[in-house]
A and B are shown apart, each in its own frame.
Chain A
Amino acid sequence: MSTKTIAEMKAAHRLLATHHYERSPVDKGYTGKTLYVNVGTRTIEERPVTDDMKAKFTGGRGFGLWLLWHAVKDSTRWDSEENEVVISPGPLSGITQYPGSGKSLVVSISPTTDQVIDSNVGGYFGPYLKFSGFDGIELQGKADQDVIIVIDGQTGLVTLESAPLEPADTHRLADVLTHMYAADEKDLRNVSVVSAGSGADHALVGCLNFSLWDVRRKGVRIKQAGRGGTGTVLRNKRIKALVVRSPQVHGDDNHPVDLEQIQNTGRTLHREIFQNDASMERMRMRGTPHLVEVMNAFDLLPVNNFQYGNHPDAKKISSDVWVKWFHQGIPDGCWYGCTLACAKTVEEFELSTGPYKGERVRVDGPEYETAAGVGSNCGIFDPRAILELNFYCDTYGIDTISWGTLTAFVMECYERGIITTEQTGGLKLAFGNADAALELLHQVSRGEGFGRIAGMGVHKMKEYFVEHYGADAAFLDDIGMENKGLEYSQYVSKESLAQQGGFALTNKGPQHDEAWLIFMDMVNKQIPSFDDKAEALYYFPLWRTWFGLNGLCKLPWNDIEPIDNKKKHPPKEAAKVPEHVDNYVRLFNSMTGRTITKEEVILQSKRAYDFQRVFNIRLGKGLRRFDAQPYRAAGPVTVEEYESRAERYDTQLRDEVGIAPEGMSTADKITALRTYREGRYEKLMDAVYERRGWTRNAVPKLETLQMLGIDYPEVVEVVKRHL
């Protein structure tokens, strides 16, 4: 531990600004106020939540988008003074009875995409912020020294304090601040911290860690707002951490109009999980990494920078391995009452590298995306190495998904001779070299060497490699697994056109939060036509957006199902899990007293979704050309890739493209297949944009904005430039 005591660290704080407030009681899921903090001007203000905000943007990600829109200029970039980090929980966040109801949504202008990013995260901060009086917090400006912001909902006091001595890395910092601001041991559970880490100081792929105090393990656990570099933005503002201290939570803190309905709906799902989880996904025991073996079986597990979809060594990192590593038998929700409990930990893991070598630590995870990202996608199948990478990414404040994908890209460039040890400073970054992968990560923390270049992310690395190393730009565009500047999350999309759209026809870039259509499309063949795919790419991204508007987790929607779901409903309906859709509609109405239908759910999402698209256009992005995908996401780029699945591709050439592959060279077959697949992707774009009410250039049409009621003059003005 640090040589400074907590008392010494606290004594070194200087109070830079204070704001006393009367805590607004939560009414029907909203407090009616947001908190604005400018760390540069040292301003702290309360701002009203308008009825229009609630009606049009619902909350969570919607509030984040609305607040950010009004905070920035067209020219704002991630490191501009006026860029904000907005955190908002949403009206259903903080429900304790329904599993998966404690999420926070982070919105900012991203350092890697130069447009709007949103990220959905667990931990207690969002609900605690609400129960402390605020539907959201806006962080603007840049401090001239390291600062923390403390929101004390028990006393009604917000402070901006300098914090020069606290350690930067989250596993230490969150622990220190939790103890510093809890009144006593009993109060520890009421404190939650948001922090990044030393890596976020030097990389653009920084994440935010949201903490919770685990009353049984008597320690801090963390969940990540991973995607898009929000941790980097926080550190660019020199904010070390946010601390919230909430009043003790009770089951009715949201003051819903009909608590009993919420309780009964929650109980139904608890029972479903109790009865069915053991025979379904076993989330309570395995968390999300059970997907490793599922993806491997369907040729969807990314291996060696998405070149391949399975590997014989995948069994070394499959769920039966993780089950033994995971600490079992303790409620592992990331918010109260989540009986799906997928937030698994590994306890007492002894680190073998880096600044904390020899320390025995808690590893939060790995989740599937981490195991696949820093694992199989980098050719690493050693659970210890994955745990070490997982731990260090988290404590350094680095997104494991982006880190995995960008390391895989670096490794492929290394193996192909695009970069050598000359550029990497001696690091032999071949696939499978876990020691080199870890050292690259430690370099990011120290702000040294090739780690700094890697930390820029795939998009900026491609430009850098072309400019400085004379790399072939077209080839890097083919194998660099990013779209809009965001690294792909960990699923091979080559054989699912709908999922290619699910990744790239997005607002924020390719991630698993918006649409996951591979099984519907590729395995179950439920959406064969372009119209079918467009409909799926209309409904599912909007449906999933709704979780982010309300502060919910997606997993209890379809990682647990009523036992008769697939019998009761035809396949395409069953994929929507209709009973659970009904649950969510009931939760919303019971909370707010409104009477929305499942159709209105989709419209609520579409307002935020299309607004976000216009926001991106306002920032100079958001048009069709930014929805282009790297060809690696759509098909085999190299001879090795083609020949590894030659039978599949030859059959497709013959049956789908109408070309006899016999006698053709592999290079010619790659070209023929590529022409065909790229043509289909363009057709998909047309079909999806039309279904979404957008122009062929991906611009929401005026009548679409009018129908949604978001035709604000400043929104229309942005769109008109492109109509």
Chain B
Amino acid sequence: MKYVKPHPEKCRFVQECMRACAQKTQKSDDISLSSILVTHADDGTVDINVCNQCGVCIDICPVTAISRTKAGTVVINKNLCVGCYACVEYCPTGSMRTHASRLAPFKCIACGACVEACPAGALELVDGEFELSYLEQNQAGETGDTFAKNYF
């Protein structure tokens, strides 16, 4: 599974990653449409927020609009999405993005555009192991409480 691993200590806060993301994924110059978010934290340090492809949103989605690709990336099917935004607020890392011009939320698809655009080497595309989420493991709907323990 590929995911973008941030190294905020190297970030020079030029937001090239956000421009590249908005351009590549949304065909827009508006960086508020970027799936990666670079901000200053309260203490002045840089915070880079981007999806780690954990897949909790897959379980939260009431309409199975969110799924994992064979490569392991978590993606949203805009046609099936009913725009409830449950995934946005239940995301453990706050990495679901929304925009007034978009009905469905959007998120990092680990395409690597931001990594290429970063002039400081603050982003890395990592190929790592991942754990399937509860419902991914139990698509047939076996009774279990792993998920419940974590999210209920």
Contact = CB atoms under 8 A, between A and B. Distances in A.
Contact of B85 (A97, A252, A347): A97
A251 B104 contact: yes
A251 B61 CA distance: 13
B29 to A, nearest CB: 21
B147 A329 contact: yes
Contacts of B60: 331, 339
Nearest to B78: A250
Interface of B (DSSP majority class) = loop
A215 interface: yes
Interface string A658-670: 0000000000000
A337 interface: yes
B152 A250 contact: no
Given A285-B152, A329-B146, A329-B147, A337 B82 contact: yes
A329 B148 contact: yes
B138 interface: yes
B49 interface: no
Interface residues of A, number: 35
A347 B144 CA distance: 12
Contacts of A347: 141, 143
A327 B143 contact: yes
Nearest to A277: B152
B143 A263 contact: no
Interface string B63-75: 1100000000000
B141 to A, nearest CB: 5
Given A217-B141, A248-B79, A337-B62, A328 B88 contact: no
B135 interface: yes
A266 interface: yes
B103 A216 contact: no
Interface in B62-111: 62-64, 79-86, 88-90, 98, 100, 103-104
Contact of A270 (B63, B85, B103): B85
B83 A252 contact: yes
Nearest to A189: B63
A333 B62 contact: yes
B145 interface: yes
A328 B84 contact: no
Contacts of A189: 63
Contacts of B90: 270, 274, 339
Contacts of B134: 329
Given A282-B152, A333-B62, A336-B63, A251 B82 contact: yes
A523 interface: no
B124 interface: no
B47 interface: no
Contacts of B84: 96-97, 251, 266, 336-337
B88 A270 contact: yes
B152 A278 contact: yes
Contacts of A260: 100
Interface of B: 59-64, 79-86, 88-90, 98, 100, 103-104, 134-135, 138-139, 141, 143-148, 151-152
19 contacts: A97-B85, A215-B62, A248-B79, A248-B80, A249-B82, A250-B83, A250-B103, A251-B84, A251-B103, A251-B104, A267-B85, A270-B90, A328-B148, A329-B59, A329-B145, A333-B62, A336-B62, A339-B90, A347-B143
Interface of A: 96-97, 189, 215-217, 248-252, 259-260, 263, 266-267, 270-271, 274, 277-278, 282, 284-285, 327-331, 333, 336-339, 347
Given A251-B83, A271-B89, 18 more contacts: A189-B63, A248-B80, A250-B81, A251-B81, A251-B82, A251-B103, A252-B83, A266-B84, A270-B86, A282-B152, A284-B151, A285-B148, A328-B145, A329-B144, A331-B86, A336-B84, A337-B86, A339-B90
Closest 3 pairs (CB-CB, A-B): A251-B83, A337-B84, A270-B89
